[in-house]
Structure 1
Amino acid sequence: HTSVIQREAYEYYRTPRCSYPTSVNRYLVSSNDKLAAFDAFAYLDTVAPRPLLFIVGSRADTLYFTEDAYRRAKEPKKIHVVEGASHVDLYDKPEYVTQVVEALKEFFGKAL
């Protein structure tokens, strides 16, 4: 069985929703070790004290990464959870993108 995010990524990238005619649709298995060794949190503390906004869908497979990053981040920070949205939903579904844009405008309108 494939994961939710794999199925959603296929639906997004490999259908008319977002496909591109020159895409080769290849994944290098030899990249797995590099992906596994990558630590997205290694330099999170260097972002502070810049304003940091985390946006995530409540149904996102990646929700736990976002919550962990939020806990580790220094202030000023905010997390915005889009109820009912998955990770890929936030890419282009108007009912979710509208909420994301509003969150961005509000946060950076105050923070910048």
Structure 2
Amino acid sequence: MPLLTYIGEISPRPILLIAGENAHSRYFSEDAYKAAAQPKELMIIKAADHVDLYDRISLIPFEKLTSFFRDNLK
């Protein structure tokens, strides 16, 4: 089953996609964002690759994650 087959069924649940600017997998986040219905957000982290968002604490957007979950997990 292709990964994006049912992405339209996620709506109306909010989606936050985060990718590194230099990540080899960035295209997948961009494709998922294009295919998803609203509400959706795509955050590209400058100067980061895929692995940076696992262990480079200074690049992980903790404030955005906190606000996203606070706003959407009511």
In structure 1, the residue matched to 2:63 is 102
Find the structure with the greater CA-based Rg: 1
Q: Deviations over 1:16-66 (max 9, x none)?
A: xxxxxxxxxxxxxxxxxxxxxx51101111111101000000111111111
Q: What is the Cα-based RMSD across aligned positions, in Å? A: 1.1
Q: CA deviation at 1:102?
A: 1.5
- Equivalent residue of 2:33, what SS? helix
The reply to whether residue 60 of structure 1 matches residue 33 of structure 2 is no
The normalised TM-score by structure 1 is 0.61
- Equivalent residue of 2:16, what SS? strand
The reply to whether residue 81 of structure 1 matches residue 47 of structure 2 is no
Give the letter for the 1:74 counterpart: A
Quick check: which one's helix share is greater? 1
Quick check: which one's strand share is greater? 2
- Equivalent residue of 1:78, what SS? strand
Using CA pairs under 8 Å that are at least 6 residues apart, name the structure with larger relative contact order, 1 or 2: 2
Unaligned runs of 5+ in 1: 1-37
The normalised TM-score by structure 2 is 0.89
Return structure 1 stretches of 4+ with deviation > 4 angstroms. none
Unaligned runs of 5+ in 2: none
- Equivalent residue of 2:44, what SS? strand
